[in-house]
Structure 1
Amino acid sequence: MIDGLESVMLYVDNQEQSVAFWTKDLGFVIKAEDFIFDDYKSVEVAPSLDSETSIVIFDKAFIREAGHEVNLETPSLMFRAGDLDALYADLNNKGIRCGDIVNTPDGRVFNFSDDEENYFAVKEVR
């Protein structure tokens, strides 16, 4: 039986830039950095150290070189936020590209992109 979701693997072209985006721009923390092979490493980030789920960032070059048969496309991630308007304003003030806030049957959402133009969504949770 599956008990939950541990982490999401995110494969990027520029790992250093991606880690900076998640930590400096979005305020995530680095939970772990593990050297895997030569100069390649994985970097685990999350909203806080005690977050149940994290994002593990890998360099696509390593994944290709290692011959792992995985999909290198960006996963579709939906985050949640209690104060969607404040988060939206904060990301816009930091120059992060954000879509409009839209109303859906499940609540208000907007999307944002990282420096590699991967898009992610945020849903308001009250």
Structure 2
Amino acid sequence: MVTVEGDTGTRKLVLRVAKNGATNVMGQDWINAFGASETLRSLLTNKKEVNAVESRTQNDVCTEFPEVFEDGLGHCTKVKAHVELKDGVVPVFRKPFPLAFAMHDAVGKELERYVDMGVLTPIDRS
């Protein structure tokens, strides 16, 4: 138990720390202690809208910013991606997730689209 001072006063709350770099989760008791429940609820439930400053048509915006609306994926040019792997780590085989038969065609088409865009590379084994 730790003593926490928030918008609603001082409270004693249970502090849980996750192991091995897992994401720590703030429970409802902590959210309430900081008076953030209404803010979080509104973020999760409110409809989000973008209001235009000027009255512009979709075609005007598409014409002015064509690179934003191109087909396919863009490229990250601001930072260089790097994945750190621990030494001696062996890949783990996992069986595929179950997929409803009715979804096979749609998923297959989407996978083909990713391969065509260069996002995925087909392999013959896992």
Same-fold status (TM-score > 0.5): no
The structure having more radius of gyration, on CA atoms, is 2
TM-score (norm 2): 0.20
> Which has a greater percent of helix?
2
Higher relative contact order (CA 8 A, sep 6+): 1
TM-score using structure 1 length:
0.20
